[in-house]
Each structure stands twice: as structure tokens, then as C-alpha cells.
Structure 1
């Protein structure tokens, strides 16, 4: 009797040993299944004051307002002050001066992301995610190796750069066409239905996907000039053509969220919405022709400056996170958060490995989930080629005018009161920090004589 029990136990023990590796595999798959899908919704040139939930008095954005009501709305989110730097921060987690593009990335540009960068899509793909992109890239196109499908995305439908890279706004003979994968598949094309077409592509990807986790990056062409909107939305807002365009982007966000619900995966998806930079209020003369009007730009709200400046109206943009069950609904935070943090955070939630080079982003998961109400970021660097400004804690120093401008961002986020003369010790501290940062990345401090 005892011998039989021991033999039985021995057989069970042997079976357990044999099955142990499979149990580990099952556990790993289960843990992977707990990772959220990720949807990034990225507007182009949409200003800090362009959404109703950020204070616009006339433009209606019910879907983005609901996204904010169900998630976390950030009021001190900063990024690059124009297209390429902000997209570099999102896709690589690094400030643009660290990334050696080897040239420009617009029409005729020969530059692109080098192999040394570990892109957001490559990281997610390596972690077992399906990865899809719809919309504007602007990180290299002339060599096929620079295109999204060779930078970690399984699929791509969209434009290689901004929608104004054509005459008369840009003097180029390179055709502006829509790409699918590595090939231009449509030229010429009508920009007016482009937001609807991008939306349909994104919704189809969500609807037709399998059970594997996915990352979807939808980068709108709008409201970058020249403005374009579908016939169905034209003339329907209370704010002219610009209002029509923003309300169509809001409609698109609603369609994507509805597709997540219909698929039954809304509760398992982290959604992030932001703009790449502020509005093109001070557009150059080349843009003020062929139908583009000065009032076709958005609003930075109460903030000073606009696109292509390092006053807050350029780099500070709307930013909203929604993650059901993780982010408490209806939260608002004025903590300093930067675009590189989005890269770092997505790598964390997807279980992706980190690159072996310097990152400029921080993991926001503790802030998002309410474990802490403080951002891990205490400084942000403002580059426009060289270094123009730095924020350190509650203070921001800007040097580009040739005379130091020192602002206290908690009491004066509008950058109206220069306190350089009354805060000499603070000025010295931030000046030293700017010199150290510039030296680290190999640029100059703009506006300061060598």
C-alpha cells in the first residue's frame, strides 16, 4: 500500500516536472494578454486653446471632451515646437539633437532615422505587438529604409511629410502622394476627404485585428495648412473653416473610440491624444497665398507664442490619456510632462525592452495610475536647432532674444513678467544648466555670445 502510494506520487512528480516549462509558457502568455493595446491620436498644429475642454468658446469637441472626462487631462504637456522634433521625441524618446538624421526629412530631404534608434514601433513589435501607422510620418522617406514599415510598423498608409509640401507653398517638384507600405499609391489626391480616409483605415485595422495586442499610431494631416475638410463637415461648425476641420478631427476620435467599443477592447486599451505643436499663428509669407488666410490658424489660448517659437504657445499642447481601470476618470494635472515620456511609458506598459542609449523620457505609469500625483520630470529642454530655453522646476529661462527672459511658470505660465533682474541666483542656476545641456548634446545656447 505504501509502495503503491509512493509510486503514484513519483509518477505525479515526474509529470509535474515535465509540464513545468509549459506552465511557465502559459503564465507568460497570460501576462502578455494583460498588456493594453495602445492607440496614439496625433493632431498636427492644433493649438493649446483649440478644444472645448481646453477653453475654446466656439469649437465643439464632444468626443475629446469625453476622452478627458474619462481619463487624465494634462495642462503642462510640452513637446517640440514644430513637426520633426515632436515626432522624434514620440518615436525615439529623445530630443532631436541626439538623433543623427543626416539631412532634412521633407521633400528632397535625404535624411531619416538611423539604424541606431530603437523606435517606438520596433520596441512594441519586438514585445509581440502588431504595429500599424496611419497618417503623416516626416521622419525620412527618400530611402525606403526610412519609411515606417522599415522602422517597426507592420503597415502604413499616409503621407511621408506635411501636406503643404507642394507648390505654391513649397517650391518642390517632388510629388506629394499617399503611400501604402513602401510605395506611393496615389498621386494626385484630394486632401478634403483625407481625415475621413485615415479614420476608415484606422477603424478597419481595429475591426479586423486578431487577439494579439496592437499599437496603432494615427497621425492626422490636420489642422496643418492648407486646411482641408470633407464635404459633409464643411460649413457645419460655428467657427468657420478652422472649426470645421477641428470638429472633423474630433469626429474621427469618436469613430476610433467607437471601434474599440464595438470590438470589445476599449477596457483593454490605453489611448493617448495630443498635438505635435502649437498653432501656426505667425505663418511665413510663403503660406499666406493660394487660399491660406491668417485666420486659418488655431489658438494657443492664453499662452504666449505659437508654432516654431519656444514661448509656451509653441511647445505646450493639449494632451489626454485614457486607460480604463488604471487612470481615474476626470483627473486634471498641471504637472510638467514631456513628449519623450510618452515613448518611455509605452515601452513600460507593453513590456518592451529599453534601448542601450540615453533616453530623455520618464515612466509616467505611477502618475497615470494615481500612485503619485507628482511627475517624474523636473526639467525640459527647448531646442530650435540650438538650445533656446530650459525649464527647471517652476522656472523657465529663455535666451534666444539675446537678453535673458526668466519666467515663473506656476504664477506666470503666460510668460508676461521677466524676472531676470530680480532673481539673479535663479538666473545663474538656469544659465549654468543650459550650458551643461548644450555641451551634452553638442549644440550652442542660442542668443548667448561665445
Structure 2
């Protein structure tokens, strides 16, 4: 068959254009800022991974992230409770700076303010596609939903899934499931929760597959292993530790499916994966709670078991493999770190986080964070840490000690107003905070008290009656 010269010329133009634009698209993809996958569990404790001592179940996919990335052994959630922790993570601020406290309920008339910028809003300035699949918990009214705060997509629940009619001790309305701003299931039931992990993991995978040609930020705040615990039929009864182990095995499986998707698409070469928890375990739930790995107290406390949780990060070619970072870091540092990675401007309002990128690149001498403030309740400064020293101030707080925990989904008793005397602890030698060494280290106490005084001027302290000069109001329901 003979072709005309004109036809051959047209064919060559098409072929050349295809090769050129294909090459350009490939180069543009290579030059994209890294994709971000942020996985945030609910109430998982420091000792709940294989590498931190979990028994009777294993977490091989999380072990893989650790072996191919970095384990942060001194990572702290922004606060030891759901909403406050998530507010700190997404805004880079101590949550009391932006007026978010406790765990917002279906009766709450506050939420995240329009004046605050989330990680999603920061990254969208650099062209990122953004999504959240799981638990939001920063206000359930329309003005507070994720789609109003930088997320292109939302599929999940507005607050904790124990805030529903089956709560063992409280009275709550039906729990809704949202897709963007529409309720797609007005009455979430146990069989729905049993598939949360698989459903939210699959939503995350679908989003990754749909956004291969541009940078993306996907946030998976899985509602589990917060009680009530349910696992799908695929994992129910698979663990020797019971339901908690089943749930952790299913979460690990879901994370593994996401990693496989990144590898299959080649996106693993340019994706930062971050894994951590919002706070420590709810210990009075007994066998339906995790473990602190020997740290003192748990969720809802400023002791180490309440806020010190595992954090893993993996980023091919940037983060060295199999490294343990013992530097002090916090969830409030995630936003400025991601902003630096994406070359995005920081929020216009003051934030408290620091850029951890030097640590990710194995420069531990940089030590971007030396101090951390432990706030709880409405605005109480309960402790401060500098280096390995932690000074706990006398305060009323939650204790689980001395009580028999519950079992199989029923909570045991606790004391929410125990009078802690406080003390100075050397976390390098005493991570369990059992030995007060303030008498032999008066100069350390003085140094930490000075840090506290500065914090009280800035953020206030209900324990001493200080209001603070630089706190901001939360969002409030529009009339």
C-alpha cells in the first residue's frame, strides 16, 4: 500500500507530538512535589505495633513502613483527646490557641474557624488534590465540614462513632455518614462500622488512582481502634488478642493495600506516607483498648501514655531506611513540614509547629523542636518538656490507676478529678514518670518554670488564672 507524502507528513507530526507531549507529561510528573498520604488512627497506644511490643497479633505493613523509613520514638499528639488533637494536626497550632478543646459532640455549636488554614488549604495553593476519608470531628454543621476547609472530597463521619444510640453510658442521636456535604446514611449501624476500615482504605486507593497525574494529599483518619470495636468477617477472630487485635490486623491490611497501590502505579517513588495516632489508649475499656507500652496513664491525660504515640514516615529517596529518630516532635509540626516540602506559604496566622524536614533527611543535630507544652481541659497547662526533662504541675486530672478496667466493650471506672501533685521527670531514664527528681535538680525546675511563664503569657493557663495574649476564637455556628 502506498501513502501520499501529505499523509506521511501528518503521521510524523502526530507521532512526534505524541512522543513530545508524553515525554513532557512524564517529566512534569517527575517534577511534581511529593504526594502525601496521612494516616491517623484513633486511640492507638504507643505499644500497639509489632515494633513497639504488640503481642498476639502483628502489623507487618507498618513494620514495612518503619523498615523503609523512619520511626519517631518521641512523637506527641497535639493533645490527648479527639477534636483538640485533630485541630492541632491540621492547623499546626496548639489546639487551645485556636479555641478547640475536648471532643466536640452533636450538641457543640463551635468548630474550626474560617480564619484558620488547614494542611489541605495550604497544599491547595500548590495545586494539590485533597481528600479526607474517615472521622472529621472539627464541627458537624455545614460551615465546619471538610469541604469548607480545603478538602475537595469527604466521605466519613462527623464525630466519634461511639456518639450514637448504642453508647453504653450516654444518650445520643443516630450517627450519620457523609459524602461531601450530603448525608448518605442517616443511621450508621454496627455492620457499617465493621466495614469502615476496608471502605475508607478503598476510598483512599480510588482517590490515589484518580489523581496519578497531579500532586495529591489524602488524609485517612480511621475511626478505629476507638471503641466500639468491630471487624469485618475477613478479620473477625483472626487475632489471638481478641477484637482489638482483629481490628489492628485489619487496619494494617488496609495500609498494606494502599502501599501496594502506590507501588503498582509507581507513585511510591514520590509519595510521603505518614502514620500516627490522635492520642493514647482509653485504658478503662480493658481488652477493647490498646496499650501504652508501659508509659504512665492513657487517653485524656498529660502523662506520657496520653500523648506519646508512635509515628512512622516513609519517603523513597529522601527519608533513610530503617532509622529511629529520638528527637522531640509533635503533630503540630506536620503542617509546616508539608508546607516546606511543597514550597507552600505558611498560614497567615501564628502557628506553633516547626519544620521537621532536616530530621527527615537524617540531620538529627538540627533538632528543630526542643520544647513541648502539655495543655488539656479548656486551657490548662499541665506540664512542659524541654529536652529529656518534663515538669508536671499540680493539677486535677484523669487517672485509670487503682481501678479494674472493663471488658468486651463495657468501660470500667476511672477518676476524672484526681489531684496530681506533679513533679520533675527525666524521661531519658524514667519514661514511666514514676520518680520525681525535682529536689535534686532545682536549676532544671527553674528553667522549665520559665518556659511555662512564657507560655502562660502567650496561651494562658486556667490553673493559674492567666488568659493569654494570643489565643484565637473558634468558629461558631452562624445565626
TM-score when normalising by structure 2: 0.82
Q: In structure 2, how many angstroms separate the alpha carbons of the residues matched to 1:344 and 1:239?
A: 38
**d(CA) in 1 for partners of 2:311, 2:289:** 19
Where does structure 1 differ by over 6 angstroms across 4 or more consecutive aligned residues?
A: none
Structure 1: give runs of 5+ residues left out of the alignment.
Answer: 1-25, 283-292
Q: Which of 420, 432, 450 is the equivalent residue of 1:432?
A: 450
2-side partners of 1:180 and 1:362: how far apart? 33
Partner of 1:78: 76
Aligned residues: 411
| Alpha-carbon offset, residue 100 of structure 1 | 3.0
The one-character-per-residue Cα deviations of 1:255-287 (angstroms, maximum 9, x if unpaired) are: 1111111221011100000011100003xxxxx
1:294 Cα deviation after fit: 2.4
Partner of 1:280: 282
Judged with a 3 Å threshold, the aligned counterparts in structure 2 of structure 1 residues 173 and 241 are, in CA distance, closer, same or farther, namely closer
Q: Report the counterpart of residue 233 of structure 1 in structure 2.
A: 235
Is 1:416 aligned to residue 434 of structure 2?
yes
Q: 1:232 to 1:397 in 2, by over 3 A?
A: same
SS in 1 for 2:147: helix
Equivalence for 2:384: 390
Provide the residue aligned with 2:33 in structure 1.
Answer: 35
Contact 1:104–1:111, Cα closer than 8 Å, also in 2 = no
Question: Is contact 2:82-2:102 (8 Å) kept?
Answer: no
- Deviation (angstroms), 1:59: 2.1
Deviation at 1:141, TM superposition (A): 1.3
8 Å CA contact retained: 1:101, 1:114 = no
Between 148-157 and 79-88, the greater mean CA deviation after superposition: 79-88
| Equivalent in the alignment of 1:91 | 90
Q: Give, in whole Å, the separation in 2 of the partners of 1:159 and 1:146.
A: 13
Q: 1:63-114: per-residue Cα shift (whole Å, max 9, x none)?
A: 0001100000011000111111211111000001110359973211111111
The equivalent of 1:149 in structure 2 is 147
Instruction: Rate the CA distance shift 1:263–1:92 in 2: closer, same or farther, 3 A.
Output: same
1:69 alignment partner in structure 2: 67
What is the alpha-carbon distance in structure 2 between the residues aligned to residue 243 and residue 52 of structure 1? 11
Q: 1:432 to 1:403 in 2, by over 3 A?
A: farther
| In 2: Cα distance, 1:102 partner to 1:218 partner | 22
Note the aligned Cα RMSD (angstroms): 2.1
SS in 1 for 2:214: coil
Give how far 1:404 is off. Answer: 3.4
Residue 393 of structure 1 and its aligned partner are, at CA, apart by 1.6
CA contact (8 A) 1:105 1:138 kept: yes
Residue aligned with 1:313, SS: helix
Asked whether the equivalents of residues 388 and 447 of structure 1 are also in contact (C-alpha less than 8 Å), the reply is no
Q: CA deviation at 1:359?
A: 1.3
* DSSP-derived class of the 1:352 partner: coil
* SS in structure 1 of the partner of residue 48 of structure 2: coil
C-alpha separation between the residues in 2 aligned to 1:354 and 1:181?
26
Q: Which range moved further: 371-380 or 195-204?
A: 371-380
Change in Cα spacing, 1:437 to 1:187, as seen in structure 2 (3 Å) is: same
Distance in 1, Cα, partners of 2:441 & 2:50: 37
Contact 2:29 2:213 in 1 (8 A): no
**8 Å contact kept, 1:103–1:112:** no
Q: What is the aligned partner in structure 1 of residue 473 from structure 2?
A: none
Q: 1:313 to 1:95 in 2, by over 3 A?
A: same
Aligned residue for 1:299, secondary structure, equals: coil
CA distance, structure 2, for counterparts of residue 260 and residue 330 of structure 1: 19
Match of 2:306, SS state, is: coil
Matched, 1:115 2:133: no
CA distance in 2: counterparts of 1:312 and 1:390, whole angstroms = 12
Aligned to 2:53: 55
Partner residue in 2 for 1:339: 331
Match of 2:11 in 1: none
